[in-house]
Structures are given as structure tokens and as C-alpha cells.
């Protein structure tokens, strides 16, 4: 049952780095559901867990049935750390989108977006780049300290997506929903004189 739940429905993930601060803190545990993306594509603004490149082609470990069952149970409840190559980032670019950061503002297809989940210093200018078909573009919320699609991570194949992060569940003081945090178009200003 634990194997089926973890594989098909839900899993708890451990946050090992500060790349998603302030949304996710080091040592947070998040619930990741794996059902939604079977029925729809990931949406801009979703916090997504996906397999890193180091794990994408590696075969599964075979430690025997008892060790495997204990690991699956531990992964399900978040007491065993998932594969360190699993990553969590915010989805900002969909296939065909032009992504840029200009003057600290994320721009998708030329439209500046407000990102209410960001609180720290803005990132350096980036792009523009066009997201290829079958891939996604991810950024960490801690833009000055995140290895994401701007650098070595690059575009992420859609088939590497594990699921959508829906809530922080541990520690209790950090408990919060991760749903509904979407970038929104900023009002355009005109220079009519």
C-alpha cells in the first residue's frame, strides 16, 4: 500500500537547501501530490518537484524487498530523505514562452509579472530565451541563491516531473498551503503627456 501511495498518489519531500526561500525553508517537509498532472499540464506558478538530470537515467536501487519497503514507508511520511537529485522549483515558463528577467522583473512573452511570493533582492537580468516544446522553465524563489533553469539546470523535460507541491506540513510553525501563488501581470504604465 505504501509503495502504491508513494508511487501514484502522494509523497512527503524534505527541503535540503535555501533555493526556494522564503516559500520553503531548509528542513521543511512538503506534501507532493502526483495525480493532478495526469489530467492537466503543470501551470505557471506551481511549485513542482522533478527528477534532476543526475537521476533521470539511473536505474532504481535494489536493496531487497524488506529494505525497499522500509524506505518506501519512510519516504511516504517524510522521515527518509528522497533522492538528492530530486529538485523543487517554481514553474515560470511553459513550452513556447519567451522568458526574461529585466530590471528584476520576470517577463513572459514581453509581459512583466508581479510575483507576490518573492521578498528578497531581485535577480540579475537574464534572457530572453524561448522554452522548447516538451520542456519547462523553472526558477527558485530565492533568485540570488538558486541553481535553476537560468544556469546548469537548463530546460527540464516534461517527463521528469514528479508532482505538484501542495502544502508545507512540517515543522508546524511553517505549515502553509502552496496553492494559488501565481505570478500576475503588472499594470502597464503609459507615458501619455
Domains of the chain plus CATH, in order, are 2-180 (2.10.109.10)
Of 61 and 16, the structure prediction assigns the larger pLDDT to 16
Q: Of the residues 19, 34, 146, 149, which is catalytic? A: 19
C-alpha cell at position 94: 511553459
d(CA 187, CA 89): 26
Q: Of the residues 17, 34, 89, 149, which is catalytic? A: 89
- DSSP-derived secondary structure letter, 125: P
Mean pLDDT value of segment 8-32: 86
Active site residue 89: yes
Contacts of 122 (CB under 8 A, 6+ apart): 101, 103, 104, 105, 143
List helix spans (H) across 10-128.
Answer: 53-56, 65-77
Give the model confidence (pLDDT) of 50-101 as tens digits: 998 754 444 444 555 655 555 555 555 555 555 557 899 999 999 999 999 9
Active site residue 19: yes
In terms of Cα–Cα distance, which of 181, 176, 168, 149 is closest to 14?
168
Residue 131: per-residue pLDDT: 98
- 193 pLDDT above the threshold of 60: no
165 DSSP β-pair partners? 32
pTM, whole model, 2 decimals? 0.80
Mean pLDDT value of segment 18-31: 91
Contacts of 13 (CB under 8 A, 6+ apart): 29, 30, 32, 49, 78, 82, 86, 88, 165
Amino acid at each position: 500500500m505504501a509503495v502504491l501511495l508513494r508511487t501514484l498518489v502522494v509523497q512527503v519531500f524534505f527541503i535540503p537547501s535555501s533555493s526556494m526561500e522564503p516559500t520553503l525553508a531548509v528542513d521543511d517537509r512538503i506534501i507532493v501530490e502526483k495525480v493532478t498532472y495526469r489530467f492537466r499540464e503543470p501551470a505557471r506558478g506551481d511549485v513542482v518537484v522533478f527528477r534532476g538530470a543526475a537521476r533521470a537515467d539511473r536505474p532504481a536501487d535494489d536493496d531487497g524487498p524488506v529494505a525497499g519497503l522500509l524506505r518506501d514507508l519512510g519516504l511516504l511520511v517524510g522521515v527518509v530523505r528522497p533522492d538528492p537529485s530530486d529538485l523543487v522549483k517554481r514553474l515560470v515558463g511553459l513550452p513556447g514562452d519567451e522568458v526574461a528577467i529585466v530590471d528584476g522583473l520576470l517577463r513572459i512573452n514581453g509581459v512583466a509579472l508581479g510575483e507576490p511570493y518573492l521578498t528578497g533582492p531581485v535577480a540579475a537580468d537574464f534572457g530572453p530565451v524561448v522554452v522548447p516544446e516538451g520542456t519547462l522553465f523553472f526558477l527558485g524563489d530565492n533568485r540570488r541563491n538558486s541553481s535553476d533553469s537560468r544556469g546548469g539546470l537548463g530546460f527540464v523535460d516534461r517527463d521528469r516531473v514528479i508532482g505538484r507541491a501542495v502544502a508545507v506540513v512540517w515543522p508546524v510553525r511553517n505549515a502553509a498551503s502552496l496553492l494559488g501563488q501565481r505570478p500576475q501581470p503588472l499594470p502597464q504604465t503609459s507615458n501619455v503627456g
